[in-house]
Amino acid sequence: MLTQQPRNGRAPSVKDVAAAAGVSLGTVSNVLNRPAVVSTATRERVERAMADLGFVRNESARQLRAGTSRALAYVMLDGGNPFFHDVAEGIETAAEDADLSLFVCNSSGRSEREAKHLDRLLQQRVQGILITPVDPDAPHLADLAQRGLPFVMVDRFSRAGGHCSVAVDDVLGGRIAVEHLIDRGHRRVAFVGGPSSIGQVRERLQGARAVWAEFGMPEDDLIHLPTEALTVNEGRSAGERLAGLPSRRRPTAAFCANDLLALGLLQHAVTAGLRVPDDLAIVGFDDIDFAAAAAVPLTSVRQPRQELGRTAARLVLDEATNPDHVHEQATFVPALVARASTGTVRR
C-alpha cells in the first residue's frame, strides 16, 4: 500500500505526484489518461510515485474540467418495495457497462423529497436521470425537460411525451390477471387497489373491467375494494373489508394492484382461517421475489423488472450521447406466473 503518508491534511494531487516522480504534471495526467504516449521508464516512475503517495484522482476536478459527471441517477418511488430494487439493479448493470456510476435515491413517495433529490442531482451535473415519479405531472419534472437534461420515466407513461418512458402494458396486465381468474372458474372477483390517482391502478382496473365485460360477466360482480396505498398493511385491511361482505356478495378471488397488497391480503386470509386458493384465490402484480416466497406462493403478473431498468438506462444514454435521439415509449408485455394461490379450478 501507501508507504509514505503526506498527511499534511491535504490529499496528494497530480502536482505532488509530479514532484515526487520528477516530471511535469502534464506527464502525470498522460500516465492516467493516455498511458501509451509516455515512455515505459517514466510511466513506471510515475506509477510508483502514485502508489507511494496513495494518490487518488479528484473526481470533482475532473468533472469540473470535463463539464459533466460520469454518473446517472435513479430516483425511485418506494425503496421498501423490492420491485424498485430490482429495477435499480437492471439500471446499474447498464450503467456499469457504460462505465458510469449510478446514484440511487429514494423519494419514499414524498414529492418534496423527490424535488430535493432532483435539485441535488442537477447540481451534481449527472448525465441523465431515471425516475419513477410520485406525480408524473409535477412541475419539477417539466423543469428537467426544459433544461434539456436527459431523463426517462420508469414504470410510468408520460402523457406530455417530451421524454422517453419505459413501462409494461398495465391494461393488458389487468386483462390477463382477470382472464386467468375467470378461467379458474371464478364468477365474483374483487379488484384491490388504490388510490386511483396512480395511473397504474386505474389501468390495471380498466383492463380487468374490459375483460370482465368481454366474458359477459355482470358488472356488479367485479367489486372494487379501494386502498389508500399499495402496501401490505392496506392489503390486510382490504381483507377485513372483504370478509365483512355478505356471503352472497363475497368474491371468491381477488386481483391485487401489486404484490404487497396481495401479501397483506393473503396474510389476513390465512389468519382468518380461509384456505387459499379454495376459499379465496389471489393474484398479485409485479412478481417480486417475496411473491414466490410466500407461504402460499402467489400467482402474479410479472413485470420484467431488470429489463425495465436496463432499457431505461439504454434510452437515457442514447439521449445523452446521440444527437439524433428520438423519444421512445418502450412498452413491455406482462406475463402471468401461475402459482398455488390460484391453483385449483372451481367447479
Residues in the site for its own copies, rule: CB under 8 A? 1-2, 5, 7, 10-11, 54, 56-61, 63-64, 67, 69, 79-80, 82, 85, 88-89, 92, 101, 103-106, 108, 119-120, 122-125, 139, 142-143, 146-148, 232, 263-264, 266-267, 270-271, 289-290, 293-297, 340
User: Which one of DNA, its own copies, none interacts with residue 69, CB within 5 to 8 A by kind?
Assistant: its own copies
Stretch that binds DNA, among 25-33, 83-91, 151-159, 162-170 (CB under 7 A): 25-33
Residue number, 85 or 188, with CB nearest to its own copies: 85
3-class secondary structure per residue, the chain: CCCCCCCCCCCCCHHHHHHHHCCCHHHHHHHHHCHHHCCHHHHHHHHHHHHHHCCCCCHHHHHHHHCCCCEEEEEECCCCCHHHHHHHHHHHHHHHHCCCEEEEEECCCCHHHHHHHHHHHHHHCCCEEEECCCCCCCHHHHHHHHHCCCEEEECCCCCCCCCEEEEECHHHHHHHHHHHHHHCCCCCEEEECCCCCCHHHHHHHHHHHHHHHHCCCCHHHEEEECCCCCCHHHHHHHHHHHHCCCCCCCCCEEEECCHHHHHHHHHHHHHCCCCCCCCCEEEEEECCHHHHCCCCCCEEEECCHHHHHHHHHHHHHHHHHCCCCCCCEEEECCEEECCHHHCCCCC
Among 31-39, 129-137, 208-216, 278-286, the segment contacting DNA (CB under 7 A): 31-39
Interacting positions 47-66 with DNA (CB under 7 A): 55-58, 61-62, 64-66
Among 9-17, 71-79, 134-142, 158-166, the segment contacting DNA (CB under 7 A): 9-17
Least distance from DNA to the Cβ atom of residue 119, Å:
13
* Nearest distance, CB of residue 151 and DNA, angstroms: 21
In the list 1, 3, 67, 139, the residue contacting DNA (rule: CB under 7 A) is: 67
Q: Interaction with DNA in 159-178: which residues (CB under 7 A)?
A: none
Q: How far is the CB of 266 from its own copies (least distance, A)?
A: 6
Residues that bind DNA (CB under 7 A): 10-11, 13-15, 23-30, 32-34, 37-39, 41-43, 55-58, 61-62, 64-67
